[in-house]
Chains A and B, each alone.
Chain A
Amino acid sequence: MTADLWVFFGLAAVAIWSAACMLLSRNAVYSVLFLVLNFLTVAVFFLLLQAGFIALVQVTVYAGAIMVLFLFVIMLLGAERVETRPSLPWQGPVAAALVLLLFGLMALAFLLSPQSAATPPPATPVFGSPESVGEVLFDAYLLPFEVTSLLLLVAMVGAIILTRRERSREAR
């Protein structure tokens, strides 16, 4: 077994363990922290797959900004532990059965597809650098990029409208 495989299996174990702990922990704050660990592990995968720019975006935007937003809302609502009473006793077993079915289908699709044990060909050193990603982003994908900016603006306005208290109703 080569060093690359050791690195892969070690990181994969951390990623799966943190995802499982995220699901199992009763406290939502711990869930957020485990998910941050998962995102950081996946960012290391991105770095090893020659996607340095995306790895940094993942760390700053996803593990940084988005998860801080989650933490902020959890602490704002004081909703760390609200899940106490199981009202649907069959929910857990049915969910586990459906996920096992999904895993079975994925394994079937995986085994039926042609597999090659070959490792990917060596990429050029500039592959995945900010310059090369920017060239593709602002050349072939310029319109989606601008649409994304519009989407973020709409989401920001929507979030403000949704959480705004109605002033006239409070005055009454």
Chain B
Amino acid sequence: MNVPIGYLVALSGVLFGLGVLGVLARRNAIVMFMSVELMLNAANLALIAFARQWGRLDGQVFVFFIIGVAAAEVAVGLALIVAIFRTKHSIDVDDVSGLRG
């Protein structure tokens, strides 16, 4: 695909912004978590585009590591959500206000 690199970076920025909107506007902890995944994915798209632009493979290797770190993050994050659901019986982030002053 031969399109200017700016197009792909702009698409990556739009996807990242939608992820930020999800984290800020939704209160379902699982959907917020999925929005974080969307942001990571937008960063991956930018890295792959840069790797293609400069003809170096380091960007692709970074994406590989990001996917690995995202897998670890999802495992721990979903375990936390399950643990919170057991005590609060809710995954609404507004209900997790035990430390509220």
Q: Are B90 and A35 in contact (CB under 8 A)?
A: no
Q: Are B24 and A95 in contact (CB under 8 A)?
A: yes
Interface contact tally, CB-CB below 8 A:
226
With A and B bound together, what is the CA distance between A128 and B64 in angstroms? 12
Residues of A within 8 A of B33 (CB): 70
**Measured between C-beta atoms, what is the minimum distance from B81 to chain A in Å?**
7
**Measured between C-beta atoms, what is the minimum distance from B98 to chain A in Å?**
16
With A and B bound together, what is the CA distance between A62 and B43 in angstroms? 14
A16-B15, A45-B8, A155-B73 known; A127+B78 contact, CB < 8 A: no
Contact with A along B45-74 (1 / 0, CB 8 A): 100110111010110110111011111111
Chain A's interface size range is 35 or more
Chain B minimum-CB-distance residue to A50: B52
Given A31-B31, A133-B61, A137-B64, 10 more pairs with CB closer than 8 A:
A8-B7, A8-B8, A23-B22, A46-B45, A49-B51, A57-B64, A69-B74, A98-B24, A103-B17, A158-B76
**Can you show 12 pairs from A to B with CB atoms below 8 A apart?**
A8-B3, A16-B18, A45-B8, A57-B67, A70-B30, A77-B82, A77-B91, A82-B91, A99-B20, A120-B53, A127-B55, A137-B64
Which residue numbers of B lie inside 8 Å of A, CB to CB?
1-11, 13-15, 17-22, 24-28, 30-31, 33-35, 37-38, 41, 44-45, 48-49, 51-53, 55, 57-58, 60-61, 63-65, 67-76, 78-83, 85, 90-92, 94
